[in-house]
Structures are given as C-alpha cells and as structure tokens.
C-alpha cells in the first residue's frame, strides 16, 4: 500500500460524496449534542411539588444499611409531623411574632423596604432561661411568599425546626403557626425565616434569641445581643448604621453576643479593652484567655460571645470600614479608641483542651465525605456554573442516612474559590481537625463553620435528634443556588412538599 493515511484522508475530503457524509456526521454530532443538552436541561427540572426525600443519592457513610430503608421504609416510619416539642403544659415564655412588610429607618435616616417581625428588624430579642418551655406564635400579616421560623443553632425537635416544605408548610398571609420547645442549651442563637430564606432573611426577617444559663447571669451583667446585618448595602449593628452610645459604669461585667446574619463573613473589632471569647455558636469555651487587638471574623450565621469588665475609658465594637459601631462608656461620651488592625481570632488554638464525649480517635459508625465543587450544568432548567456536592448538582446530591445513636464523622472539603459557612440543623458538630491538623485549644463545637477555599475540615456529631435535617451553606444565595442537602434519620418521612404548588421554598 503506497497511500499514506493522511493522503487517503485528503482524498476522502475532496470527494463530494464523502464531504456530504462528513457534513451529515457533523449535523448528527450537533443534533446529538443538542439532544444531550435538552435531556440534561429537562432532567434537571424539578416537579412543581416534590418530597425532598425522593431525590438525592442515599449515602450510608460506609455504615450498615438500616433494615427496610429504601428512602421510604414502610413498617415503622415516623413522620416529622409527630416529632414535635411538648404540646401540653403552660409555657414559661410566650412570644408572638408577626411577619409584615414595613419601611424601616436606619440611624442615618436611610430607609429600607424591609420584611419585619413586629414592625422591626432585627425582630424583637427573645430572651429565655435554660430549661424553659418556650412558645412562639408566628403570624403572617402580609408577606406574600409566606414565612416560617427556624431557630438557628437550637437543637429543637425536628417538627419545630421551621423549614418550609420539610418540617411544616409556610405560613401564608393571614395564617399562623405555633412553635413549642424546651430549651436545654444556654447561649447565643438567632431566629430567621426558612421560607424563601435568601430573599427574606436579607430583607429583615430575623432576630436574636438569647438563652440565659439556668443559674442566671453574673449579678449586674450588661448583656447585649448585637446582630451585624447588611441592609440593601448598608452595614448595620442592630439596624444602627452609625455609632450608638451607651452608658456602662466602670467595673460592670459586660457580655456581648455577636451574631452575623449576613451571607458572608463579617469582621468586628473591639477596641479599648482586652476581652475573652467565651462562647462560639452557643457553646461555652474552656478557659478562654484575654485577647487584645484581635479581629473577630464571624461566619455568616455564626456567633461569638465576648466578655470583659468595663474599664474607666470608652470601649468600641465596630465593623471596620463602615460607620456601624457601639460605643460603651461610663459617661455616654468620650473619645473613641481607634481599632488597630490585627490578626483574625482563631478558635483552633484558643483556650484549653477538655474532655469531650468523643474525639478523633473514636470509632465512627459512619464516615461521610462532603466535597463542595462547581461545574457547568443545569439547575432546575437554568444553565450556569453550578455548585456541586460530591460531584452532583442539586438535587443529585447525597442524602446522609444515619440511625439514632450513630457517631458520625464528616470530612468537608472546599474545592471552590468561595467561602462556604456550612450549617447543620438540629446538631452541633465537634471540630476534629482543620487541613489535617488537630485542634489544640478548647473543644470547639459549631453549628456554622466557615470553610475557606482549599480548606478541609473533619467534624463529628452524635446522631441523637431524629428527623430530616437540612445541611446547607449559610451564604443563603449559595443555598438557593443548590448548595443544600439533608441528613436523614432512617425511617423518618415528611408529609410536607417543596415546590411552587405547595408554596414551600425553604431556600
């Protein structure tokens, strides 16, 4: 054979019949490609209503497959509707929160077209005592899309978790829903709507929830909850976008409960005194030491409690590069101390180690992988560069199946260039390691953990609160764009449905 393959190819190419064939093949490839795109588009579309448990890949974390569990086990199925708090008994504290639209004025005079609880944002501070039976009556006056309330960081029974379409139906205008739960934790929490959360939380449907310890606060404590929030691009502390002054006598014990309701991390500085970080995400730290000139970087949804004794001179807590600040001083005025730039506070090496119910050397019943990535594809029919969990685009994400009593380890890796504040409902996780390094300070229990680009965390929790629990990014825009999945206890089902016909859109 004298002809070279290349020449043969040229000859083919020049033959009109072959050219026609090639054109046909090209068209076939394009058609097949379009067909695939059409298929991918169509396959990504979610039905008008669906059960969140009908989707996702069941992932048992290498543990035993619970008997009879196929997503919808028959026999002894438990509905989330039965996993409620105590329905009988006189509540120790009752609150009514009415969701309504309102124009809110910030301290600067700026007006915000807000969604509010009781006409204000943040909503009223709910202050209760550890052990209290709390009852909250939620009403919706005129928030068209509906509302719900999630108790962020409070490990309530699943039926009180406030996730529309999973644990309840959204409360539509004119409607009402009653939450009842006993609070066993003490610390700083917050509440927010979990219906259309990305939009509604941003617009103001949130507030602080403080659970004082059973024994009460040290006598005379000035105890303040401060929520950092971005209102239409204006950063504020408790809706004040200016310096707010407060009189606090020298010698007073002060506890500031810092809450970040934003999608992204927020830095706060505390100038004029040394201080201790005494709690993270509603859990006290062991033997916190005094800090100075350290910046507090709060994850979106996260909380830090700081404590100090009021000095003779003013103290200022502020959000750098904004005008939002709170100034405390014995006379209500005085020159404000300048915040010096510092390093970010690092919980991984702060305080002293203490015994924990389990640790990195424990035997884990289940080991899950949670890889956050990105790829081009369709999300509910919309093309884009989508978030992925373990390679899949929502709803093709894992469902972590656990059984009551399991000790569970989750390895979270962030392969994207964005920060993701990961939030697990209904449980607190113990941080075991970060980027392979063990923790060297106080036990660090979190419910909202910032995972920076390239970071890798190992966390663990005890599966002790049966239900269907959201596990999602608290950058709520990311959650709405698919960065959300569930931890499901085997045998638990939901009668509620997500989707437009059901008016339930938790994200």
Q: Point out which residues bind ligand C2O (CB under 6 A).
A: 150, 152, 192, 194, 301, 423, 425, 470, 472, 474
3-state secondary structure of 158: helix
Distance between CA 165 and CA 144 in Å, rounded? 16
Q: How far is the CB of 461 from Cu ion (least distance, A)?
A: 20
Please name the residues in contact with 189: beta carbons below 8 A apart, sequence gap of 6 or more: 151, 152, 153, 154, 208, 209, 210, 211, 282, 303
- Coil, strand or helix at 473: strand
Contacted entry of ligand C2O, Cu ion, none for residue 470, CB cut-off 5 to 8 Å set by kind: ligand C2O
Q: What's 80's DSSP letter?
A: G
Would strands 325-329 and 276-280 be described as parallel, antiparallel, or unpaired? Answer: unpaired
Q: Contact between 303 and Cu ion (CB under 5 A)?
A: no
- Whichever of 177 and 192 has its CB closer to ligand C2O, that residue is 192
Which is closer to ligand C2O, CB of 55 or CB of 469?
A: 469
> Other C-beta atoms within 10 Å of 334: how many?
17
CB of 220 to ligand C2O, least distance (A): 32
The dihedral through the CA atoms of 295, 300, 304, 309 has a sign that is positive
DSSP state string for 29-78? HHHHHHHHHHHHHHHHPPPSSB-GGGSSEEE-TTSPPPTT-SSS--SS-E
473 binds, among ligand C2O, Cu ion, none (CB under 5 to 8 A by kind): Cu ion
> What is d(CA 358, CA 346) in angstroms, rounded to the nearest whole number?
22
- CB-CB contact of 97 with 139 (8 Å): yes
Q: Residue 475 binds what, of ligand C2O, Cu ion, none (CB under 5 to 8 Å, by partner type)?
A: Cu ion
Determine the Cα–Cα distance for residues 228 and 342; give it in Å rounded to an integer: 20
- Nearest CB to ligand C2O, comparing residues 414 and 484: 484
The residue nearest ligand C2O at its CB is 152
Q: Which is nearer to ligand C2O, 150 or 462 (CB)?
A: 150
Cβ neighbours of residue 52 closer than 8 Å, sequence gap 6 or more: 165, 166, 395, 468, 486, 494, 498
CA dist 255 and 306 (Å) reads: 6
How far from 153 is each of 159, 161, 372, 428, 477, CA to CA, in Å?
A: 15, 10, 22, 8, 19
Using CB under 5 A as the binding criterion, the count of chain residues that bind Cu ion stands at 5
Smaller CB distance to ligand C2O: residue 159 or 351?
A: 159
Report DSSP state, residue 390: T
Q: Which does 165 bind (CB under 5 to 8 A by kind): ligand C2O, Cu ion, none?
A: none
Per-residue mark of binding to Cu ion, 457-476 (x: CB under 5 A): ----------------x-x-
DSSP alpha helix (H) spans, 213-319: none
The least distance separating ligand C2O from the CB of residue 25, rounded to whole angstroms, comes to 50
Binding flag, residue 420, Cu ion (CB under 5 A): yes
Quick one: 80 or 328, whose CB is closer to ligand C2O? 80
Residue 296 interacts with which of Cu ion, ligand C2O, none, CB < 5 to 8 Å by class:
none
Tokens read off for 129: 């005592």
423 binds Cu ion (CB under 5 A): no
Binder of residue 425, out of Cu ion, ligand C2O, none (CB less than 5 to 8 A by kind): ligand C2O
Q: Which does 205 bind (CB under 5 to 8 A by kind): Cu ion, ligand C2O, none?
A: none
Residue listed under structure tokens 């090209």: 26
Nearest approach, Cβ of residue 51 and ligand C2O (Å): 18
Residue 486 touches which of ligand C2O, Cu ion, none (Cβ within 5-8 Å per kind): none
What's the closest the beta carbon of residue 111 comes to ligand C2O, in angstroms? 27
CA distance linking residue 489 with residue 78, whole number of Å: 10
The single residue among 177, 425, 478, 486 that binds Cu ion, judged by CB under 5 A, is 478
* Nearest distance in Å: CB 196, ligand C2O: 12
State in angstroms the smallest separation of the CB of 474 from Cu ion.
7
> Would you say 55 or 151 has its CB closer to ligand C2O?
151
301 binds, among ligand C2O, Cu ion, none (CB under 5 to 8 A by kind): ligand C2O
Rg (the chain; Cα; Å): 26
Task: Report what 194 binds from Cu ion, ligand C2O, none; CB cut-off 5-8 Å by kind.
Answer: ligand C2O
Closest approach, Cβ 415 to Cu ion, in A, equals 12
Footprint of Cu ion (CB under 5 A): 420, 473, 475, 478, 483
């Amino acid at each position: 054979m004298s002809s070279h393959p290349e020449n043969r190819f040229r000859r083919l190419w020049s033959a009109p019949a072959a050219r026609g064939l090639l054109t046909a093949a090209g068209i076939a490839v394009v058609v097949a490609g379009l067909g695939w795109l059409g298929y991918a588009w169509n396959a990504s579309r979610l039905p008008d209503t669906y059960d969140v448990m009908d989707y996702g890949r069941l992932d048992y974390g290498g543990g035993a497959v619970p008997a009879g569990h196929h997503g919808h086990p028959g026999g002894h199925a438990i509905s989330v509707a039965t996993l409620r708090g105590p329905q009988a008994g006189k509540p120790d504290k009752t609150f009514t929160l009415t969701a309504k639209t309102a124009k809110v004025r910030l301290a600067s005079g700026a007006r915000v077209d807000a969604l509010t609880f009781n006409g204000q944002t943040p909503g009223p501070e709910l202050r209760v005592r550890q052990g209290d039976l709390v009852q909250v009556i939620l009403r919706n006056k005129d928030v068209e899309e509906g509302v719900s309330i999630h108790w962020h960081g409070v490990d309530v029974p699943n039926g009180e978790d406030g996730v529309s379409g999973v644990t309840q139906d959204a409360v539509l205008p004119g409607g009402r829903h009653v939450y009842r739960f006993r609070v066993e934790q003490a610390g700083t929490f917050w509440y927010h709507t979990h219906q259309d959360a990305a939009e509604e939380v941003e617009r103001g449907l949130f507030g602080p929830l403080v659970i004082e310890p059973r024994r009460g606060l040290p006598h005379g404590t000035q105890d303040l909850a401060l929520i950092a929030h971005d209102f239409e691009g204006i950063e504020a502390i408790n809706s004040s976008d200016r310096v707010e002054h407060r009189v606090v006598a020298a010698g007073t014990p002060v506890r500031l409960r810092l809450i970040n309701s934003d999608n992204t991390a927020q830095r706060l500085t505390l100038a004029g005194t040394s201080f201790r970080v005494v709690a993270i995400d509603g859990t006290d730290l062991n033997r916190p030491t005094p800090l100075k000139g350290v910046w507090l970087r709060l994850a979106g949804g996260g909380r830090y409690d700081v404590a100090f004794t009021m000095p003779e001179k003013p103290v200022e807590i502020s959000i750098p590069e904004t005008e939002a600040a709170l100034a405390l001083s014995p006379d209500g005025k005085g020159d404000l101390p300048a915040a010096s730039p510092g390093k970010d506070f690092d919980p991984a090496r702060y305080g002293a180690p203490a015994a924990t119910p389990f640790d990195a050397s424990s035997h884990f019943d289940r080991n899950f992988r949670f890889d956050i990535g990105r790829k081009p594809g369709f999300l509910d029919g919309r093309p884009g560069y989508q978030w992925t969990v373990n390679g899949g685009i929502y709803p093709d994400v894992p469902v972590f199946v656990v059984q009551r009593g399991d000790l569970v380890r989750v390895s979270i890796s962030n392969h994207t260039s964005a920060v993701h504040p990961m939030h697990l409902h209904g449980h607190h996780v113990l941080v075991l390691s970060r980027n392979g390094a063990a923790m060297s300070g106080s036990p660090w229990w979190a419910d909202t953990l910032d995972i920076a680009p390239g970071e890798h965390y190992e966390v663990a929790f005890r599966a002790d609160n049966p239900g269907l629990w959201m596990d999602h990014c608290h950058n709520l825009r990311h959650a709405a764009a698919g960065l959300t999945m569930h931890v499901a206890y085997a045998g638990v089902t939901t009668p509620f449905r997500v989707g437009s016909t059901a008016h339930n859109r938790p994200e």
